[in-house]
């Protein structure tokens, strides 16, 4: 799985190693960190482009992110697509959560799902929330889900 920085620079080590080095570097610089993970997608003709981000927030000092993108030709309903986004975020969260526990870094999983029932994505809200919470992760939906709705969104539009 290829991850890159926002600059486009490809990360050649494992994402686990990259995140650990970032935690150590930022902690040594006196920052308290929080990690937010989210995925967004965009249908472009026959392809769906997914972008998953790991956002490292420095308390009161901005942040930075790592991005993984993939495309699929699989056709899916909006609800299926929302749940695939959540699945990708959970897989990523699961792969780094032990590391974050080790360094006492809080983790949130953000879903690009609207809490307002007038939006189509709302159909997936209860399942997505149940899925994330049952895995033991903190869940955020729109408008608080900036990792998916702002950061990952920039990568697919």
CB 16 within 8 A of CB 96: yes
pLDDT at 156: 80
Which domains are delineated in the chain? Answer: 4-156 (3.30.420)
Whether the CA torsion 59, 85, 69, 97 is positive or negative: it is positive
136 contact partners, CB below 8 Å, separation of at least 6: none
Instruction: Write the pLDDT tens digit of every residue in 20-69.
Output: 999 999 999 999 999 999 999 999 999 999 999 999 999 999 999 999 99
Instruction: Write the pLDDT tens digit of every residue in 108-139.
Output: 999 988 888 888 888 888 999 998 999 999 99
**Distance separating alpha carbons of residues 130 and 155, to the nearest angstrom:** 26
- Alpha-helical regions (H) of 1-156: 15-28, 78-102, 125-134, 146, 153-156
In percent, how much of the chain has pLDDT > 70? 100
Q: What is the pLDDT of the chain when averaged over all its residues?
A: 93
């Amino acid at each position: 799985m290829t991850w890159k920085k926002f600059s486009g620079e490809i990360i050649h080590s494992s994402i686990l190693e990259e995140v650990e080095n970032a935690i150590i570097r930022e902690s040594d610089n006196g920052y308290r960190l929080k990690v937010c993970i989210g995925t967004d997608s965009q249908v472009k003709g026959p392809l769906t482009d997914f972008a998953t981000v790991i956002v490292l927030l420095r308390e009161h000092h901005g942040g930075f992110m790592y991005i993984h993108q993939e495309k699929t030709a699989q056709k899916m309903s909006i609800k299926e697509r929302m749940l695939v986004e959540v699945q990708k975020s959970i897989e990523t969260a699961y792969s780094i959560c032990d590391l974050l526990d080790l360094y006492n870094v809080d983790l949130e999983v953000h879903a690009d799902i609207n809490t307002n029932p007038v939006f189509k994505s709302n159909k997936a809200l209860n399942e997505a929330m149940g899925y994330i919470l049952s895995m033991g992760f903190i869940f955020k939906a729109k408008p608080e889900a900036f990792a998916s709705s702002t950061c990952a969104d920039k990568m697919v539009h």
